[in-house]
Amino acid sequence: METAPRRPTAFEAMDAARHFADLLREVEYVERIVLEDADWEGLRLWTVLASPAFEDRYGEPVYEAQGQIIDALGEPVFDFRVINVNELEGRLEDVLPANGRVLYERHART
Protein backbone atom coordinates (compact mmCIF):
# COMPACT_ATOMS: atom_id res chain seq x y z
CA MET A 1 0.00 0.00 0.00
CA GLU A 2 1.27 3.45 -0.92
CA THR A 3 1.57 5.98 1.90
CA ALA A 4 0.91 9.68 1.50
CA PRO A 5 4.01 11.86 1.49
CA ARG A 6 4.83 13.56 4.76
CA ARG A 7 3.70 17.17 4.81
CA PRO A 8 6.50 19.60 5.77
CA THR A 9 6.18 21.13 9.20
CA ALA A 10 5.63 24.87 9.68
CA PHE A 11 9.28 25.13 10.77
CA GLU A 12 10.48 23.35 7.60
CA ALA A 13 8.31 25.59 5.43
CA MET A 14 9.60 28.74 7.15
CA ASP A 15 13.17 27.51 6.81
CA ALA A 16 12.56 26.87 3.10
CA ALA A 17 11.12 30.38 2.68
CA ARG A 18 14.21 31.90 4.29
CA HIS A 19 16.42 29.75 2.08
CA PHE A 20 14.50 31.00 -0.97
CA ALA A 21 15.20 34.59 0.08
CA ASP A 22 18.88 33.74 0.65
CA LEU A 23 19.14 32.27 -2.85
CA LEU A 24 17.85 35.48 -4.40
CA ARG A 25 19.35 38.23 -2.26
CA GLU A 26 22.45 38.44 -4.46
CA VAL A 27 20.41 38.96 -7.63
CA GLU A 28 20.81 42.70 -8.14
CA TYR A 29 17.29 43.35 -9.43
CA VAL A 30 15.43 41.38 -6.73
CA GLU A 31 13.99 44.12 -4.55
CA ARG A 32 11.86 42.25 -2.03
CA ILE A 33 10.68 38.80 -0.94
CA VAL A 34 7.42 38.65 1.02
CA LEU A 35 5.85 35.63 2.72
CA GLU A 36 2.07 35.54 3.06
CA ASP A 37 -0.19 33.06 4.80
CA ALA A 38 -2.60 32.09 2.03
CA ASP A 39 -6.25 31.26 2.57
CA TRP A 40 -5.84 27.68 1.33
CA GLU A 41 -3.71 26.22 4.14
CA GLY A 42 -0.49 27.14 2.44
CA LEU A 43 1.95 29.94 2.01
CA ARG A 44 2.54 32.38 -0.80
CA LEU A 45 6.00 33.72 -1.63
CA TRP A 46 6.05 37.03 -3.50
CA THR A 47 9.21 38.07 -5.35
CA VAL A 48 9.43 41.71 -6.39
CA LEU A 49 11.76 42.52 -9.28
CA ALA A 50 12.99 45.85 -10.62
CA SER A 51 14.21 44.67 -14.01
CA PRO A 52 13.49 45.80 -17.57
CA ALA A 53 9.80 45.36 -18.34
CA PHE A 54 8.60 42.28 -20.19
CA GLU A 55 12.02 40.64 -20.37
CA ASP A 56 11.40 37.02 -19.36
CA ARG A 57 15.08 36.19 -18.87
CA TYR A 58 15.16 38.20 -15.63
CA GLY A 59 12.75 35.74 -14.07
CA GLU A 60 15.05 32.75 -14.62
CA PRO A 61 16.96 32.96 -11.30
CA VAL A 62 13.63 33.24 -9.49
CA TYR A 63 12.20 30.17 -11.23
CA GLU A 64 15.37 28.20 -10.52
CA ALA A 65 15.14 29.09 -6.82
CA GLN A 66 11.47 28.08 -6.82
CA GLY A 67 12.41 24.70 -8.28
CA GLN A 68 15.07 24.15 -5.65
CA ILE A 69 12.60 24.85 -2.85
CA ILE A 70 9.95 22.56 -4.35
CA ASP A 71 12.52 19.78 -4.79
CA ALA A 72 13.83 20.21 -1.24
CA LEU A 73 10.37 20.01 0.35
CA GLY A 74 9.15 17.22 -1.91
CA GLU A 75 5.63 18.61 -1.90
CA PRO A 76 4.05 21.88 -3.03
CA VAL A 77 3.81 24.13 0.00
CA PHE A 78 4.15 27.54 -1.61
CA ASP A 79 2.23 29.43 -4.21
CA PHE A 80 4.81 31.62 -5.95
CA ARG A 81 4.13 35.09 -7.33
CA VAL A 82 6.57 37.29 -9.25
CA ILE A 83 5.97 41.01 -9.76
CA ASN A 84 8.10 43.41 -11.76
CA VAL A 85 7.65 46.99 -10.54
CA ASN A 86 8.43 48.22 -14.05
CA GLU A 87 5.36 46.41 -15.38
CA LEU A 88 2.89 47.64 -12.76
CA GLU A 89 0.22 50.17 -13.64
CA GLY A 90 -0.59 50.90 -10.01
CA ARG A 91 1.24 51.00 -6.72
CA LEU A 92 3.19 48.01 -5.46
CA GLU A 93 1.59 48.39 -2.03
CA ASP A 94 -1.81 47.79 -3.64
CA VAL A 95 -0.62 44.43 -5.01
CA LEU A 96 1.44 43.00 -2.15
CA PRO A 97 -0.43 41.54 0.82
CA ALA A 98 -0.81 43.94 3.73
CA ASN A 99 -0.26 41.06 6.16
CA GLY A 100 2.87 39.78 4.42
CA ARG A 101 6.13 39.23 6.26
CA VAL A 102 9.15 40.75 4.52
CA LEU A 103 11.93 38.16 4.36
CA TYR A 104 14.28 40.29 2.31
CA GLU A 105 14.32 43.89 1.12
CA ARG A 106 17.08 45.56 -0.83
CA HIS A 107 18.09 48.81 0.72
CA ALA A 108 18.98 51.79 -1.42
CA ARG A 109 22.61 51.85 -2.39
CA THR A 110 24.62 54.92 -1.58
**Residue type for position 16:** A
DSSP-derived secondary structure letter, 110: -
Residue 110 confidence class, pLDDT cut points 50, 70, 90: very low
* pTM listed for this prediction: 0.87
Residue 61 confidence class, pLDDT cut points 50, 70, 90: very high
Residue 82 has pLDDT above 80, yes or no: yes
Query: What does pLDDT average to over the chain?
Result: 89
Going from the C-alpha of 106 to that of each of 9, 26, 48, 68, 109, the distances in angstroms are 29, 10, 10, 22, 9
Does the domain made of 10-105 have the CATH classification 3.30.460?
A: yes
- Residues 49, 81 contacting (CB under 8 angstroms): no
Residue 2 has pLDDT above 80, yes or no: no
